[in-house]
Amino acid sequence: MTPMAAEDSERIEGDWRERLRAQGYRLTPQRELILAAVERLEHATPDEIFAEVSAQSTAINISTVYRTLEVLEELGLVRHLHLSDRAPTYHSVHGGPAHFHLSCRNCGQVISVGEERAAEFVGRLRAEAGFEADVAHLTIFGVHVPHCPQPGSEEPHGHDD
Amino acid sequence: MTPMAAEDSERIEGDWRERLRAQGYRLTPQRELILAAVERLEHATPDEIFAEVSAQSTAINISTVYRTLEVLEELGLVRHLHLSDRAPTYHSVHGGPAHFHLSCRNCGQVISVGEERAAEFVGRLRAEAGFEADVAHLTIFGVHVPHCPQPGSEEPHGHDD
DNA sequence: TTAGTTGCAAATATTTTGCAACCGC
DNA sequence: GCGGTTGCAAAATATTTGCAACTAA
């Protein structure tokens, strides 16, 4: 139907600069670099994003990273969630299907689960508690069962909390 | 069956001092004060607990609060969860039936939901993802639907994130 | 030109740690 | 008395903010 929707993420990607300006914001190289870093890293803390960007270009300031992530999240380009106690981790919004996370306290591995697996639960919360859950932000802590595959391996994610 | 189980929480409560010592820990007035404060406050950040205890007795040190909460959690007397981005909130373990929380981003209200409401979902995660979810630690962010009852009212809990 | 942005440094906020004095057992 | 604890101060982290210089539009 839609004339040219080859890659939806492409469309969105090519659109954000306009949206940004439409909201009265300005397109700066820092913002481009930071958004690109978030997409490249998939799941990263402000600190990791700062390091990634610094490695790429001439260092930008850490406070710019914080301020930019705030703007990007406001624009709906990135989202954050908590894979561990400390530090929120940011990820690009148009990075695949919606999912939530399971964080294992034993091995630290973070598992992504398609949101459809929570559909019924979410529906129940909506019906019984009048609450619309933000599944994409959800991180569930627990442990692998019957036992962790390889304690202390897998993703280099944090594993506290 | 059990001879004297009038109040289970009573039994547990009268038992923790022994358990504490059995683990090689010592019973100090600070630990008693902090545990009492956690129980009284229901959901409180280390800072709030510190304030509560300070108001009661002659001020104890904030670092003692952090260290004590760590010990109490290790003993299974208290648990923490995240009702907002910043600062974890602690609560007593024998404070009623197990439940998880729903945190509304609009009005900041925190709703407690009995864990049985998540039983099926948890079972599914166990069966399909091999993951045993820690429901008591779970906090789900989202918004009331169709609309918040009274935006900005209710519980004095944090409401960011 | 104008107002949104950035870099920088200082301020905040949180949590942790070293260590000597202290006190529960 | 021994060894776990505490108070205190300083350190380590994490995030925010004031402000002058800068620059996208």
A61-84: per-residue pLDDT in tens?
999 999 999 999 999 999 999 988
Residue B82 near residue B90, CB atoms below 8 Å? no
N-terminal to C-terminal alpha carbon distance within chain A: 47
Average pLDDT over residues A104-133: 93
**Alpha carbons within 13 A on the beta-carbon side of A97:** 7
Q: Which residue has the higher pLDDT, A12 or B38?
A: B38
Å: A7 CA to C19 C1':
62
Q: Is the pLDDT of residue B74 over 60?
A: yes
Share of chain B above pLDDT 70, in %: 83
Cβ of residue A56 near strand C, that is under 7 Å?
Answer: no
- What the block records as the tokens of A130 is 């009048």
How many alpha carbons lie under 13 Å from residue A38 in its C-beta half-sphere?
Answer: 26
Q: Give the whole-angstrom CA distance, residue B80 versus residue A61.
A: 34
- Round to whole Å and give the CA distance between A37 and A65: 11
Residue B66 CA, chain-centre distance (Å), reads 15
Of B113, B118, B142, the CB nearest to A132: B142
* Cα radius of gyration rounded to whole Å, chain B: 18
Q: Give SS3 for A44.
A: strand
Instruction: List CB contacts (< 8 A) between B125 and chain A.
Output: 102, 113, 117, 140, 142
For an interface test with B, which of A116, A121, A143, A161 has the most B Cβ atoms less than 10 Å from its Cβ?
A121
Q: Determine if the peptide bond prior to B88 is cis (ω within 30°).
A: no
Q: How far B122 CA sits from the closest chain A CA (Å)? A: 9
Chain A residues touching residue B117 (CB < 8 angstroms): 124-125, 128-129
What pTM did the predictor assign? 0.82
Q: E-assigned strands of chain B? A: 78-81, 89-92, 99-104, 110-114, 131-133, 139-144
Question: What pLDDT is attached to residue B158?
Answer: 37
* d(C-alpha A23, C-alpha A51), whole Å: 28
Phi/psi for A82 (5° steps) reads -115, 105
| pLDDT score recorded for residue A107 | 84
Q: Give CA–CA dist B41/B23, Å, rounded.
A: 26
Å: A74 CA to C23 C1': 54
Å from the B26 CA to the C19 C1':
20
| Residue B149 in this model has a pLDDT that exceeds 60 | no
